């Protein structure tokens, strides 16, 4: 490989390579050791809410098999693990008594990671609100933000001596929009007023917990950030109606979260903002996590109350969840953030991956060439964004394991490790070995660069 090709394929020194999971999707053990109920435990019991009537009751049983999974990750050569703490496992009712057995579990997980030289990246909230707090109003209730800050302080006090990488929230847009707007996620509510209140109180929870972590006794040497899902939003045509529709989607899906965090203002008026809230929300973060999966092609909705609709581009391959595969969208997202927000902090790609219908061969191996191509092309696009000046510090594949994929149940597989749900047998796919080699080399193989 020439020096130029090597430079084009190499990632910055110290670049972090890891895999991500979320507690409800992998842990199972929903009744073990004092864990309380979450909104997802409740939502999974709603007829028709989840494909196949599936639940996260067992999931990947990682609550009991975490050492095996950490071993898999470490053996691949991935040096970081992004995972979430289940709030109801630590504080069953979301307030009041702390469940020490829950904290002890996560301490064992962290100790196992450190023993295998894997850096823990902890997410405090990945959608599993304690049901007891939903019964009191959930995220549309302002008090939930204060309950979250207390929970964050408890976890930080217990783990902050060894965990130095913290994410407050994962994708608050999904928590608010899908949970309280469209109702396709827990708690399954369809109310635009409650949705907007959830938006603000989730961001307020971020700001309050950021303040708590900064003032905690383990604050030295830590990094605290927030993870947002961001996509380029493209109008389907040059018509003014489509352009306006795309702008509305971008504001509602992205700027509604980016602007208050990075600029201290909302792009639209929310009626539940109180004095001092935006100062908390816009306090500087140490990093911004970006979850990227696809471009969004938008046209004005022809009829009905809906003002915009997402459509699939013609001639573009799609994944098993019907998302278009457009790797350059990742570069677009990063360059847009870099040019739009002057105070953009360092970025981590905290999720990126694809679902495909992976079928084990007769010998038990799982070959997933589509996922290898997906990762290869997206990492090439990421490398191009870095070359353009975007400060990207790491990449976490979504996801380590096939798992409970929210409303899709177990029908869709995003993992680089195949899980046989009947036996809980783990089998690394071809993509796992490929990504491990990239991580060890800190570079794409020759010929994978798009520079």
Q: Which residues are catalytic?
A: 171, 351
Q: Which phi and psi (to 5°) does residue 213 adopt?
A: -65, -35
- Strands (DSSP E) contained in 164-286 are 165-170, 223-229, 233-235
From CA 121, how far away is CA 167, in angstroms rounded?
A: 7
**Count of Cβ atoms closer than 10 Å to residue 37 Cβ:** 18
Q: Read off the tokens for 426.
A: 């783990």
Q: Which residues contact 36 (CB under 8 A, 6 or more apart)?
A: 88, 89, 91, 92, 93, 94, 99, 130, 131, 132
> Own/partner pairs for 39-42, CB < 8 Å, 24+ apart?
39/127, 39/128, 39/129, 39/130, 39/131, 39/134, 39/138, 39/179, 39/186, 39/187, 40/127, 40/128, 40/186, 41/131, 42/131, 42/134, 42/186, 42/187
From CA 96, how far away is CA 414, in angstroms rounded?
A: 36
Q: Read off the tokens for 352.
A: 């990126």
Angle formed by the axes of helices 62-76 and 100-115, to 10°? 20
Q: Do 439 and 76 meet the contact criterion of CB atoms below 8 Å apart? A: yes
Provide the terminal-to-terminal Cα distance of the chain, rounded to the nearest Å.
15
* Residue 421 burial by Cβ neighbours in a 10 Å radius (0-12, 13-18, 19+): middle
């Amino acid at each position: 490989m020439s020096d130029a090709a090597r430079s084009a394929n190499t990632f910055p020194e110290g670049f972090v390579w890891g895999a991500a999971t979320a507690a409800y999707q992998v842990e199972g053990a929903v009744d073990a050791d004092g864990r309380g109920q979450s909104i997802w435990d409740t939502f999974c019991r709603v007829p028709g809410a989840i494909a196949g009537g599936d639940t996260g009751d067992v999931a990947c049983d990682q609550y009991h098999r975490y050492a095996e999974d950490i071993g898999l990750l470490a053996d691949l050569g991935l040096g970081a693990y992004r995972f979430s703490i289940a709030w109801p496992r630590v504080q069953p009712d979301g307030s009041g008594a702390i469940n020490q057995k829950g904290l002890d579990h996560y301490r064992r997980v962290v100790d196992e990671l450190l023993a295998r030289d894997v850096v823990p990246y902890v997410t405090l909230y990945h959608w599993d609100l304690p049901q007891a707090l939903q019964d009191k109003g959930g995220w549309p209730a302002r008090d939930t933000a204060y309950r979250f800050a207390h929970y964050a302080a408890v976890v930080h006090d217990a783990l902050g001596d060894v965990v130095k990488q913290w994410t407050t929230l994962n994708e608050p847009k999904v928590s608010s929009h899908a949970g309280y707007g469209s109702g396709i996620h827990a708690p399954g509510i369809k109310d635009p007023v409650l949705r907007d209140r959830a938006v603000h109180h989730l961001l307020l929870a971020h700001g309050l917990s950021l303040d708590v972590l900064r003032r905690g006794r383990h604050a030295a040497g830590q990094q605290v950030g927030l993870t947002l899902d961001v996509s380029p939003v493209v109008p389907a045509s040059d018509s003014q109606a489509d352009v306006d529709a795309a702008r509305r989607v971008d504001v509602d899906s992205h700027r509604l979260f980016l602007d208050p965090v990075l600029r201290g203002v909302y792009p639209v008026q929310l009626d539940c903002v109180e004095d001092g809230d935006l100062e908390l929300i816009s306090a500087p973060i140490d990093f911004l996590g970006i979850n990227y999966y696809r471009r969004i092609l938008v046209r004005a909705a022809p009829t009905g109350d809906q003002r915009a609709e997402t459509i699939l581009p013609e001639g573009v391959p799609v994944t098993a969840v019907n998302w278009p595969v457009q790797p350059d969208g990742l570069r677009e997202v990063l360059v847009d953030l870099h040019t739009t927000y002057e105070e953009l902090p360092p970025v981590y790609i905290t999720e990126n991956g694809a679902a495909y219908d992976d079928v084990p061969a007769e010998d038990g191996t799982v070959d997933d060439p589509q996922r290898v191509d997906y990762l290869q092309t997206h990492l090439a696009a990421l490398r191009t964004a870095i070359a353009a000046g975007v400060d990207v510090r790491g990449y976490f594949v979504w996801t380590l394991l096939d798992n409970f994929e929210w409303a899709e149940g177990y029908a869709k597989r995003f993992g680089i490790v195949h899980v046989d749900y009947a036996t809980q047998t783990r089998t690394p796919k071809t993509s796992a070995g490929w990504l491990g080699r990239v991580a060890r080399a800190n570079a794409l193989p020759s010929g994978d660069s798009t520079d």
